[in-house]
């Protein structure tokens, strides 16, 4: 039951997550705290990490996707309970592209797999059980989320991929991506490409919600490929195509609430 006297809405605050292990110089992160977080007593809440698109900024999840509106509505239907949402920076600037990997460009993978979880556990009152954690993102962020869920399922066993790609990229030329980020070491890149990882591992406690715009032909195609690979690897998979939409922030605006609703039992947030 929702404790009496709590505000009806959650809050969003900015924060700085240091790159202690990665050396990554991140821009401000944003944190959504549901109303239940403000209670003196209550359950430890699950965690949802969200990654923005590229080019872009973490604040896009606040201004373009309506994350607060979606999470407040979710909390209203779940006795004030909702995930604590952390929106970190993984690129460093609006136009940079780390591909969420450890490469010649940056150690963004280490930032997401080490720095961000350590900061969350040290700073916020959350459930430390990784079974109650999820990662998601839009476009570049969706690709990033799948990478983290495949490479670090012990940290992020649940994933929300909204309009992500099939693999990380700096542009349309795969060879140029590998040259710039890995010194033309194709094997090193292939070892962290999510479709390859999903093809060689089996996951027993992972789940994935994948959404795309129904009019976004290219990214709907990526969605189908990733969904098939995840299902074959043992993920519990749910897909959704949002009618009438292409590749825009309106897709995560309409997809976030149903995605979190589908993950709610795994996150310990049944109505």
Report the alpha-carbon angle 161-165-166, nearest 5: 105
Q: What region, left, alpha or beta, does residue 66 occupy, with left being phi > 0 and alpha being psi -120 to 50 degrees?
A: left
Q: Is the dihedral of CA 125, 12, 34, 50 positive or negative?
A: negative
More confident residue, 46 or 39: 46
pTM: 0.95
Domain spans in the chain, listed from the N-terminal domain onward: 11-267
Task: Report, at the CATH architecture level, how domain 11-267 is classified.
Answer: 3-Layer(aba) Sandwich (3.40)
Facing residues of 47 across strands?
Answer: 84, 133
Give the whole-angstrom CA distance, residue 224 versus residue 221: 5
Other CB atoms within a 10 A radius of the CB of residue 123 amount to 12
- String of DSSP letters for 50-100: EE--SS--TTHHHHTS-HHHHHHHHHHTTTT---EEEE--SSSSSS---TT
pLDDT in tens, 106-149: 999 999 999 999 999 999 999 999 999 999 999 999 999 999 99
pLDDT in tens, 59-114: 999 999 999 999 999 999 988 899 999 999 999 999 999 999 999 999 999 999 99
Q: What is the pLDDT of residue 271?
A: 62
Q: What is the pLDDT of residue 2?
A: 46
Residue 243 has pLDDT above 80, yes or no: yes
Q: How far, rounded to the nearest angstrom, does the alpha carbon of residue 131 sit from its chain's CA centroid? A: 15
pLDDT in tens, 174-225: 999 999 999 999 999 999 999 999 999 999 999 999 999 999 999 999 999 9
pLDDT in tens, 222-235: 999 999 999 999 99
Residue 6 has pLDDT above 70, yes or no: no
- 271 CB burial (10 A radius; 0-12, 13-18, 19+): exposed
Residue 8 has pLDDT above 90, yes or no: no
Q: What is the pLDDT of residue 42?
A: 74
Give the whole-angstrom CA distance, residue 53 versus residue 91: 10
Cis peptide before 79 (omega within 30 of 0): no
Q: What is the pLDDT of residue 38?
A: 83
**Phi, then psi, of 253 in degrees rounded to 5:** -60, -40
Q: What is the pLDDT of residue 1?
A: 41
């Amino acid at each position: 039951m929702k404790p009496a006297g709590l505000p009806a809405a959650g809050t969003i605050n900015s924060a700085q997550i240091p790159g202690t292990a990665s050396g990554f110089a991140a821009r401000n992160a944003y944190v959504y705290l549901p109303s239940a977080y403000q209670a003196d007593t209550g359950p430890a809440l699950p965690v949802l990490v969200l990654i923005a698109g590229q080019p872009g900024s973490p604040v896009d999840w606040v201004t373009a996707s309506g994350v607060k509106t979606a999470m407040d509505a979710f909390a209203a239907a779940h006795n004030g309970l909702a995930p604590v949402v952390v929106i970190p920076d993984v690129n460093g600037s609006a136009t940079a592209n780390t591909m969420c990997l450890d490469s010649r460009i940056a150690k963004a993978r280490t930032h997401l797999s080490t720095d961000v979880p350590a900061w969350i556990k040290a700073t916020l009152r959350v459930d430390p059980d990784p079974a109650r954690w999820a990662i998601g993102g839009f476009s570049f962020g969706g690709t990033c989320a799948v990478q983290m869920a495949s490479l670090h399922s012990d940290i992020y066993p649940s994933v929300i991929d909204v309009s992500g790609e099939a693999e990380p990229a700096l542009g349309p030329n795969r060879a140029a991506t590998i040259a710039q980020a890995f010194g033309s070491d194709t094997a090193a890149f292939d070892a962290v490409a999510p479709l390859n990882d999903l093809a060689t591992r089996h996951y027993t406690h992972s789940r994935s919600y994948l959404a795309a715009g129904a009019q976004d032909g290219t990214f709907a195609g990526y969605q189908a490929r990733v969904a098939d690979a995840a299902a074959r690897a043992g993920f519990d998979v749910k897909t959704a195509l949002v009618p009438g939409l292409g590749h825009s922030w309106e897709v995560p605006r309409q997809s976030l609430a149903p995605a979190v609703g589908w993950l709610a039992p795994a996150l310990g947030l049944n109505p």
